[in-house]
Amino acid sequence: MGVKDYLLRRIAEVGAIHMTLLDPDKVTAREFRELALMVQDYGSDAIMVGGSLGISEGQLDEYLSAVKGSLKIPVILFPGSVANLSRYADAVFFLSVLNSADPYFIVGAQIQASVLLLKRFRNLEPISLAYIIVGDGGAVGYVSNARPIPYERDDIALAYAYAAQLMGFDMIYLEAGSGAHEPVRPRMVSRVKQLVSKPLIVGGGIRDPEKAAELALAGADAVVTGTIIEERPELVKDIIRAVHDGGITRRRGLERN
């Protein structure tokens, strides 16, 4: 089973999945291994690896090779640049920053990456991802020269998300940015999910189980947390449980209706 099919199956099973984002630039190789194994034990459904400022291929290979044989959940690259590819990962989010003002982040980097995938990284499963920056945008918004969608402008988010679906992306990601003071608002998530059928990922600024549950209940098919694992790892287990519980509750509600 491919990684995309695995993610879709898990979403169908629990309603909403949790993915952990680890940035090798912020932890040592030993810490990376410990955190990856910890979140697997806690029930996270996948590990995303990447950072807004980019990391070297050599560093990625070192970190990922150390956990390759110990993980049962997939490792998905979340690249900040075309250099962020590794043969030790299972898949790569082939992402386009749709609301970037710079064509390079919409399609230029993707052309470069496609050459690498064809020539050197054929084992990596590409999962096309429409990446839409919301609110603060964080470092990724700054680096990608994005025009973040204001938190309250659901209409703009709807337009971008529906365009992404029409363009054929596998998944859609609403991103408030790492360490954002506020996550994407549940109302925006709910309205987008009512319009699009593609899996909807939400991340950025999610620091507690309550917020994670709200987003799963609102319609997020996947909730991503990253910074919190570096700051307060003791909360991660509760956040993962909250995402799964919120997804199951939402699915039951939909079945009743």
| Cβ neighbours around 181 below 10 Å, total | 11
Residue 53 has pLDDT above 70, yes or no: no
Q: Are 45 and 10 in contact (CB under 8 A)?
A: yes
- Domain, as residue range, for 141: 3-252
Two tokens, residue 136: 């603060």
Q: What is the pLDDT of residue 110?
A: 92
Q: Is residue 217 part of a domain?
A: yes
pLDDT band, very low/low/confident/very high, at 231 (cuts 50, 70, 90):
confident
Residue 229 has pLDDT above 90, yes or no: no
The values of phi and psi at residue 79, to 5°, are -70, 135
Q: What is the pLDDT of residue 148?
A: 95
Q: What is the pLDDT of residue 178?
A: 81
Q: Which CATH number characterizes residue 172's domain?
A: 3.20.20.390
pTM for this entry: 0.94
Q: Is residue 46 part of a domain?
A: yes
Beta strands in the chain (DSSP E): 17-22, 46-49, 75-77, 91-97, 125-133, 171-175, 200-203, 222-225
Q: 230 or 200: whose pLDDT is higher?
A: 200
Label residues 141-167 b or e (16+ Cβ within 10 Å = b): bebbebebbebeebebbbebbeebbee
Chain centroid to CA 225: how far?
Answer: 8
Q: Is residue 257 part of a domain?
A: no
Q: What is the pLDDT of residue 54?
A: 58
- Mean pLDDT check: name the lowest of 51-65, 122-136, 205-219: 51-65
The number of domains in the chain is: 1
190 to 56, 137, 154, 155, 217: CA distances (angstroms): 37, 20, 10, 12, 8
Q: What is the pLDDT of residue 82?
A: 84
pLDDT band, very low/low/confident/very high, at 257 (cuts 50, 70, 90):
low
Averaged pLDDT of the chain: 92
- Rounding to the nearest 10 degrees, give the CA dihedral for residues 64, 33, 90, 248: -160
Q: What is the pLDDT of residue 52?
A: 60
State mean pLDDT over 223-230: 87
Q: Are 146 and 106 in contact (CB under 8 A)?
A: no
Beta strands in 90-186 (DSSP E): 91-97, 125-133, 171-175
Q: At what angle do helices 3-14 and 236-256 cross, to 10 degrees?
A: 70
